Amino acid sequence: MIFFLSGVIALLAVVMALAICRYPLDIRIFVGRMECYIVQLLP
């Protein structure tokens, strides 16, 4: 489960890096919501 979660976070980081170059404001809002959601999933 931890390996899967770290893989998802790594994938999100790559997508973020690519997307921030094109859509700075929208992506930051979206990522902020995703981070809150992911933190709630963690025990």
For residues 16 and 27, the answer to whether their CB atoms sit within 8 Å is yes
pLDDT at 23: 66
* Separation CA 24–CA 40 (nearest Å): 25
- Cα–Cα dist 12/27, whole Å: 11
- What pLDDT does 27 receive? 67
Q: What average pLDDT score do residues 22-34 get?
A: 74
pLDDT band at 20 (very low <50, low <70, confident <90, very high): low
Task: Please give the residue range of the domain that contains residue 27.
Answer: 2-41
d(CA 37, CA 43): 12
Say if residue 6's pLDDT is above 70. Answer: yes
Number of domains the chain is built from: 1
Q: What does the mean pLDDT of the chain come to?
A: 77
